[in-house]
Amino acid sequence: MQDQIKGKVAIITGASSGIGKAIAKKLAEHGVKVVLGARRIEQLKNIAEEIVTNGGEAMVMQTDVTQRADLQQLVAAAVEKFGQLDVIINNAGIGQLSRIDELDVDGWDQMIDVNLKGVLYGIAAAIPVFKQQNAGHIINVISTSGIKIVPEQGVYAGTKNAVRTISEAFRQESDGRIRITGISPGVVKTDLATNIKNEVMKTAILENMEKSAIHPDAIANAVVYAMSQPLDVEIGDIVIRPSVQR
């Protein structure tokens, strides 16, 4: 698989920790030139430094996916530095979990802006480059929360299912030159819970992670697999979760 993706250029949003960080490091190990975007620039710099020290190629740019211009600048910077863009991995996400009747409207807005509009902004920034190149690959990190609907995750799952719907629609619209893959992780060891305002939900999520979460490398390996396929093969949906997750 390494030879098949070596030399490709990939953007990863939300790359400063968790799944995004794991994807960046794994792709770099396989010879992919990685472009890391997130709000936490110092963490990005540390990851890029580690990648370069280990012989890889990486660049970073402070990126807020809720700002369309940031995604446009990230794509432009990737093309300027590396001459092409092969893959965009829309990974940035946030979860404000609570009952709907608690009316955390600010949390709803956050999730819509990051989980949904952030993905759309990434897609919108990359498609013109992909069309010009006559090739490209969009990978959207979604969630199993959109597959099994449970209390306290309604709006979060809604944003994730919106991405799933958009991904499938674009797959049908595309003539195959631009491939699209959705990866839905289950419980993964990340810092997703750190931003949850609802303390009861935060505690429950952290306890669940402690008991059953899998390593982010499992998701990174799926990205490598999807990217490694021949150009006439598209991996549409991948669900990855702990074997004990119900």
Catalytic residues: 156
82 contacts 5 by C-beta, under 8 angstroms: no
Tokens, residue 18: 């968790």
DSSP H helical ranges for 32-117:
41-53, 68-82, 105-111
Half-sphere exposure of 205 (CA within 13 A, CB side): 24
Query: Residue 232 in contact with residue 9, Cβ under 8 Å?
Result: no
The SS3 of residue 40 is: coil
Neighbouring residues of 157: CB distance < 8 A, sequence distance ≥ 6: 143, 145, 146, 149, 150
Task: Report the chain's terminal Cα–Cα distance, integer Å.
Answer: 31
**For 2, how many CA atoms within 13 A lie in the half-sphere containing its CB?**
5
For residue 56, the SS3 value is coil
**CA-CA distance, 92 to 189, in Å (whole number)?**
15
> What is d(CA 109, CA 156) in angstroms, rounded to the nearest whole number?
10
